Chains A and B, each alone.
Chain A
Amino acid sequence: MSSSEAHDSHNPYLAHHFDTMEQQDHAARLGMWLFISTEVLLFAGLFLGYTVYRWMYPNTYQACANLLSIPMGATNTVVLITSSFTAAWAHHCIKINQIKRGLGLLAVTIVFACVFLVVKYFEYSHKFSVGQLPGKWYSFDGLQAPGANLFFAVYFLATGLHGLHVLIGMTVLGIIGYRTIKGRYHGGNHVGVELGVLYWHLVDLVWIFLFPLLYLI
């Protein structure tokens, strides 16, 4: 048994199968990065779909991109970037035991996430109302082209999957907040917060690519 185990063994956060907190935290971060890599590969398939159909229907794609609202997309981008900042700040606060501020920042992050979803709701409902829909549902008269329904298929699939991750991320942040309130996360045990915030950054990361690809070019 390593000597460091002796002084860690009464750390209540140390699981029985790990010898030291350092080992446990290292494992936790490694696990989280592996999980993030699975998310990268998950979205990769949709980015592939985007690239393929854009190559096949370049003019239609550009025309469709013009149908999207850049102000709303840009707003959402700023919202997510800011929420990433507040999430990182929240983790920082919890790490240095400024618990109340950390909780407040977590709450702000979740609020920003809600704003994102609200903006998306407006975007989606507009598209539903004018028929800018994927696949066989496409019925928008303002743009008739064979690839248009595929643009919106990619749009809804990509932003839909991303939106699902926003919801999951909000839940994760909520759980972290709850656990912090209960006293489980604090300066002496904050890796859990770090992991949850990592997930939120991933959500931001995906949108950083989705925004220009769908709205701007």
Chain B
Amino acid sequence: MAHSNVSVSAAEGGDAENKLPEVSFWNADHGIKSWLLTLDHKRIAIMYLVLTLSGFLLGGVLAMALRIEHLTPDETIMGANTYNRVFTLHGVAMIFLFMIPVIPAVFGNFFLPLMLGAKDVAFPRLNLLSLYVYLAGAALLVWSMAAGGVDSGWTFYAPYSLSTPAELAPALFGVFVIGFSSILTGLNFIVTIHTMRPIGMTWMRMPLFVWATYATSIIQVLATPVIGLTAVLTAIERLFGFGFFDPTRGGDPVLFQHLFWFYSHPAVYIMVLPGMGVISECVSVFSRKNVFGYNMVAYSSLGIAFVVFFAWGHHMFVTGQSKFDAGAFAIISMLVGVFTAIKVFNWIGTMYRGSIAIKTPFIYVCGFLFFVVFGGMTGVAISSVSLDVHWHDTYFVVAHFHFIMVGATLMGFLAGLHYWFPKMFGRMYHEGWGFVSAAMIILGFNATFIPQFLLGNMGQPRRYYMYTPDAQMLHVASTAGSTLVAFGFLLVAIYLLWAMKFGRVAGPNPWGASGLEWKTASPPPKNNFDSTPVVDEDPYTYNKKGEEVEHVLI
């Protein structure tokens, strides 16, 4: 048994032995300027946390508004035009302000240098710039809200997006600007991973979260410019009537969809891959076992990053695109399921015969697996063209992508938030409340979206503010589920905020986890490590290959 570098007893020791470090990155420098002009990746990560959670709050409130509207078949609290604006903004806020940036910009920024034993990312000033660019894009999106909102759906399809009187231009430019933030982050991470690994950390000795971040960054860098261009082209068309996508001027609206989805499909993997990376980390710690099939998990991340660029047309099966393309896109989309399945089997293989510790992050891992497996399978189902003809633009698709997005990104985010909470804030949260709120959130999301699969299969269209009375029961069930979710999140916010100030002091490695980030203080000092570590072992060292896992209480 070999984890000599891990002090399991630290977790058991209690706060008598553990004190918060006198000086950490939190109080290394004082004053608001030291935060606003910081080059410390950890401070940038915290600021991103605040901003992305604000975006999540905005998207969440809008979601609740939508669900309340759907309590009755006709108008409940809003009319049709308002409904259009609410679901559009829900999508835009959730996707661009939260889902795409959150895990890379928060956990990637905080932990990538730590996991690599580095002092910072490769380009710290670019990192700070990405934060301000994000803020500028978010401000533009808020402007479009204030100007009455956007009603075209977050997908901005031509020709409606060209002719709607709603104020689209700020929203489109907002998307363009936020895209830059994503590109800068991805670029920074790729260079960091390539050039700042410590001595001894070969590619196959990197933690899997780093692999996932790497694959995500590749997608961010290559795909985002296309949406940037598309958003600007659409704005130019609205403002100047160039006719690029406008059929009345000879343009092709399906061209818009091709350009839009060329980014937006890989974009969903920007949301999913980092969550998978977090899960790889958590599943090994809380099974006290090395990740099963490390190589396959690492390669499948790259595989996903590559294949998803060729799958975008599965969003366009009913646009009239050619059967040739439809067939190609369908088959390639199913291929992604293969890579995902590889990961799922490896994670389960990790848990098998491990020593499971049922802590909050692990609950979220279980939630992740459930949502990704079932959401993923419905994805493979939808990627058959014939089935999609029935399901396209119905609640079935809505339920599918919420299962995946909640499952992969949100569960990943919450798992990471709880797993890394002691490292970031130096204190432990209360497990009991963690468990309860995780259960509420997971059960709540199931209750919200399983009825929507049924609704979609019944033929209920999405983005409609009215529905036929036979669908009411399912809609009410869905709203009930979403209320449970909302309370779950409220609970999480309360006990985490409380724990930041009053939680039990955690010590450097409360979970007894492998990984360089646990070899420094909690919270880490400004310079991360007193001296650059040298890596001479694999990333996961819970057990030697073939050995039985020692059952350990953490």
Interface residues of A (CB under 8 A from B): 1-2, 15-19, 23, 26-27, 30-31, 34-35, 37-39, 41-42, 44-46, 48-49, 52-53, 56-57, 134-137, 146-147, 149-150, 153-154, 156-157
Contact = CB atoms under 8 A, between A and B. Distances in A.
A205 B255 CA distance: 25
Given A42-B225, A135-B244, A135-B246, 8 more contacts: A23-B195, A27-B194, A31-B123, A48-B258, A48-B259, A56-B250, A57-B250, A134-B242
Main secondary structure of the interface of A (DSSP, over half): helix
The residue in B122, B187, B242, B251 that gathers the most chain A C-beta atoms within 10 A of its C-beta is B242
A157 B250 contact: no
A116 B244 CA distance: 26
Contacts of B4: none
A147 B225 contact: no
Contacts of B199: 2
Contacts of B258: 48
- B interface bracket (residues with beta carbon within 8 Å of A): 35 or more
Given A2-B199, A30-B191, A31-B123, A37 B226 contact: no
The residue in A30, A37, A153, A156 that gathers the most chain B C-beta atoms within 10 A of its C-beta is A153
B183 interface: yes
A45 B222 contact: no
B252 interface: yes
B118 interface: yes
Contact of A39 (B122, B188, B225, B233): B225
B17 to A, nearest CB: 30
A31 B191 contact: yes
A135 B259 contact: no
B120 interface: yes
A30 B190 contact: yes
Nearest to B194: A30
7 contacts: A30-B191, A31-B126, A37-B221, A48-B255, A134-B240, A135-B249, A149-B249
Contacts of A53: 250-252
A42 B228 contact: yes
Contacts of B233: 45, 49, 157
Contacts of B195: 23, 26-27, 30
B112 to A, nearest CB: 12
Interface string B437-470: 0000000000000000000000000000000000
A31 B123 CA distance: 9
A1 B242 contact: no
Contact of B221 (A26, A34, A136, A149): A34
Given A16-B119, A41-B223, A52 B243 contact: no
B249 A1 contact: no
Given A27-B195, A149-B249, A44 B221 contact: no
A134 B243 contact: yes
B222 A41 contact: yes
Interface in B200-239: 221-226, 228-230, 233, 236-237
Nearest to B236: A157
Contacts of A48: 255, 258-259
B182 to A, nearest CB: 10
Interface in B460-487: none
Nearest to A22: B195
A176 to B, nearest CB: 17
A38 B237 contact: no
A8 B255 CA distance: 53
B532 interface: yes
Contact of A38 (B225, B244, B250, B531): B225
Contacts of A26: 195
Contact of A153 (B188, B229, B242): B242
A137 B226 contact: no
A150 B230 CA distance: 16
B381 interface: no
A42 B126 CA distance: 20
Contacts of B252: 52-53, 56
Contacts of B303: none
Nearest to B119: A17
Contacts of A17: 118-122, 124, 196
Contacts of A137: 240-241
Nearest to B240: A135
Contact of B226 (A23, A42, A157): A42
Contacts of B246: 135
B242 A135 contact: yes
Nearest to A152: B242
Nearest to A154: B244
A45 B230 contact: yes
B225 A149 contact: no
A97 B126 CA distance: 29
A53 B250 CA distance: 9
Interface in B177-197: 183, 187-188, 190-191, 194-196
The residue in B122, B126, B226, B531 that gathers the most chain A C-beta atoms within 10 A of its C-beta is B122
Given A39-B225, A41-B223, A45-B233, A147 B531 contact: no
The residue in A45, A48, A147 that gathers the most chain B C-beta atoms within 10 A of its C-beta is A45
A132 to B, nearest CB: 13
Contacts of B532: 1, 19
B233 to A, nearest CB: 7
Nearest to B186: A34
A18 B194 CA distance: 13
